[in-house]
Amino acid sequence: MKIGNLAHLTGLSVHTIRYYEKIGLLPDASRDAGGRRQYGMEIANWLTFLKHLKATGMGISGMVRYAQLRAEGPQTAAARRQMLEDQRRTVQQQIDALQATLPVLDNKIEIYKDMEKAHVMEADHARDTNTIPRIQQPDKRS
Amino acid sequence: MKIGNLAHLTGLSVHTIRYYEKIGLLPDASRDAGGRRQYGMEIANWLTFLKHLKATGMGISGMVRYAQLRAEGPQTAAARRQMLEDQRRTVQQQIDALQATLPVLDNKIEIYKDMEKAHVMEADHARDTNTIPRIQQPDKRS
DNA sequence: CTAGATGTTCGAGTGCACTCTAGGTCAAGC
DNA sequence: GCTTGACCTAGAGTGCACTCGAACATCTAG
């Protein structure tokens, strides 16, 4: 499989795949006669797993650390499990943080619904500012 | 209240507060005799709301748009409600995406537990690579 | 045989959201 | 009076994760 094909398969760009190789997330690909990268299915699986790790919010540096542990062999299994367990915890924290924003949004949405009603009734003055100051717009109306 | 005080109160840095003012997230602060920014409590409340918006994953540009709508007065209430409702939807999507990673992590963690057991039993060869290729580490061990 | 698609390298550029530096002013305490 | 520390501005720098460009090589279909 050539790099364009792999890119299509994984949804990553060709640029990104070469970038991942450069920073050590992918093994240096074997090349065909013309010097082009040749890939097998296992790389697609590895990239898919990397996409999952990325979806957990793990950054490049974390993924590189994971990849390096992996390269060191089975004796790092415990360390890798530890990383994944840590990451699981941060995922849960992210979920909790997002959950916590929902009532804040809902609250505001309700306030706006009331405001809209009031506005329609022409009693539309200064109920907008529930302790939050108005910002004079930078006047970018052409 | 001076800027350092506000920074302490909101958990933002003084730099960040000035930056927020520059990009239009905060009204141009009134100044004391010496040209220093003076703040009231309502700014702290606004910053707190911005922190909530940020926690939803809304970027600076979105927050600026919201702030500008706000500045335009009550007739933009519906537009702002729309923004918040859209944002609520993206928060839910982010939560779902994170939730979906949990089984992937759990799965891997289980695989590693098995691997560790196997490793202890000295049957520790090549079970590590479940279709995922090994990366030769760039040999950065000092 | 040739056009166009696809690949190569290296390095520069992008967008985001800060974060910091340099070089100054100003108010309060000793 | 002087030092200390908080504040000021304008602009440069940072870290992340790509993303793109230039200039060139090679493969593939007609």
CB of A134 within 8 A of CB of B27?
yes
Cβ-Cβ contacts under 8 Å, A125 against chain B:
74
CB of B100 within 8 A of CB of A36?
no
3-state SS class at B58: coil
Q: Closest nucleotide to B19's CA, by C1' atom?
A: C18
Q: Which CATH class is domain B1-55?
A: mainly alpha
CA-angle at B111, arms to A10 and A81, nearest 5°: 90
The mean pLDDT value for B87-106 works out to 98
The mean pLDDT value for B97-122 works out to 90
Cβ-Cβ contacts under 8 Å, A68 against chain B:
135, 137-138
> Nearest C-alpha of chain A: how many angstroms from B60?
15
DSSP B24: T
- The backbone torsions φ and ψ at residue A30, rounded to the nearest 5 degrees and listed phi first, read -75, 155
Residue ranges covered by each domain of chain A: 1-71, 83-127
Give the Cα separation of A124 and A127 in Å (integer): 7
Please name the residue whose C-alpha is nearest to the C1' of nucleotide D5: B4
Distances (CA, A) of A50 to A20, A55, B49, B55, B101: 10, 8, 34, 25, 11
Q: What is the pLDDT of residue B131?
A: 57
What stretch of H or E contains A31?
strand A30-31
The mean pLDDT value for B115-127 works out to 64
CB of B78 within 8 A of CB of A33?
no
Give the Cα separation of B116 and B23 in Å (integer): 52
Please name the residue whose C-alpha is nearest to the C1' of nucleotide C27: B34
Q: Which residue has the higher pLDDT, A139 or A51?
A: A51
Architecture of domain A1-71: Orthogonal Bundle (1.10)
CB contact under 8 A, A105 and B91: yes
Chain B residue with Cα closest to A47: B132
CA-angle at A136, arms to A134 and A140, nearest 5°: 140
pLDDT digits (tens, 9 = 90+) for A86-142: 999 999 999 999 999 999 999 999 999 998 887 776 544 454 555 566 665 554 333
Give the Cα separation of B126 and B129 in Å (integer): 6
pLDDT digits (tens, 9 = 90+) for B22-71: 999 999 999 999 999 999 999 999 999 999 999 999 999 999 999 999 99
Give me the CA B34–C1' D3 separation in Å, rounded: 19
Q: Is A35 near strand C, with its CB below 7 A from some atom of it? A: yes
